[in-house]
Amino acid sequence: MSERDRYQPGVPCWVDTLQPDPEAAMRFYEELMGWDFTGPGAMQEQDGRYFVAQVSGRDVAGIGTQPGAVGGQPATWSTYVSVASADETARRAGALGGTVLAGPFDVAPAGRLAVLADPTGATLCLWEPKQRQGAQLVNHPSAWAMSVLQTPDPRAAKEFYGQLFGWSDEPVEMAGAELTLMRLTGYVGGEPEQPVPRDVVAAMVANPAGEPGWSIDFWIADADAAAATAARLGGQVVLAPHDRPGFRSAVLADPQGAVFSVSQLQYESNR
């Protein structure tokens, strides 16, 4: 378990889903994840309704109203990366071959937001924090654990995110497939000429035949029970519960189409 009160620039800090019917989504995730939407600061009014989910009184994710411009499209989960300046990072993203899809604009008083697509088309959000730093609880049952980039062009993605956020890449073998861990690069003694890889901040897998995008993984106490509950509540089991090194996982979709995965930690030695 990790409680957080701030995020270094370049570190993913928040996840949310914008839905045609946010209240229905709240009911689904409340029963599936045990999320509480009644704690302090649980609802904001900003271009529609926005609710903050909590576990043990700590913010873990957001559910909001899908903008009218994308009405009729399936809901999605989004990843936010903390940045020192949304305006400057958005400008650099464009210069590196990305596309700024929205913003930057203020989400008062929480922070400043921009939405961009990387050169392969995967979308993510930039978050310049003010009152809201990000998720206050991660790597805990019913909380966000990791965001994973599915990309048709790993080389282009590594170059883009490396230059934009200072991420280094580390390929690892897992269950016969190559997974790339993305680490935030730090410096020994503060000297730029001595970069060293630090904590893992995200992961990447090659997906040549699929749509590029960022997927969201939540830790869960029981992956099999979560899959059964999601189906009972009108969601979809996209990939049935299965074992992978250290975890039992499933890919699910909520009733409005937002896809996410859940992972049950099998033994502590792998984490």
The torsion region of residue 263 among left (phi > 0), alpha (psi -120 to 50) and beta comes to beta
CA distance 123 to 97: 13
Burial of 254 (0-12, 13-18, 19+ CB in 10 A): buried
CA distance 68 to 84: 29
Please state, for a pLDDT cut of 90, what percent of the chain lies above it. 73
Domain covering 2-135 in this structure, CATH number: 3.10.180.10
Say which range, 17-31, 124-138, 186-200, 238-252, has the weakest mean pLDDT.
186-200
Band of pLDDT at residue 31, cut at 50, 70 and 90: very high
Please say if the pLDDT value at position 4 is more than 80.
yes
Averaged pLDDT, 38-54: 70
Please say if the pLDDT value at position 269 is more than 50.
no
pLDDT of residue 204: 95
Across the strands, what pairs with 173?
A: 178
CATH of 144-270, one of 2.60.40.730, 3.10.180.10, 3.30.420.40, 3.40.47.10: 3.10.180.10
CA distance 211 to 258: 14
Please say if the pLDDT value at position 134 is more than 80.
yes
Asked if 269 and 247 touch (Cβ cutoff 8 Å), the reply is no
Please say if the pLDDT value at position 57 is more than 90.
yes
CA distance 45 to 43: 7
Sequence-separated (6 or more) residues with CB below 8 Å from residue 85: 128
Band of pLDDT at residue 49, cut at 50, 70 and 90: confident
Q: Please tell me which residue, 5 or 174, carries the higher pLDDT value.
A: 5
Q: Please tell me which residue, 185 or 51, carries the higher pLDDT value.
A: 51
Across the strands, what pairs with 125?
A: 80, 115
Q: Where in the chain is the domain with CATH 3.10.180.10?
A: 2-135, 144-270
Report the predicted TM-score, pTM, of the whole model to 2 decimal places: 0.91
Band of pLDDT at residue 245, cut at 50, 70 and 90: confident
From the list 103, 144, 112, the residue with the least C-alpha distance to 131 is 112
pLDDT of residue 71: 54
Give the tokens for residue 72.
Answer: 């009729």
Asked if 22 and 63 touch (Cβ cutoff 8 Å), the reply is yes
Band of pLDDT at residue 83, cut at 50, 70 and 90: very high
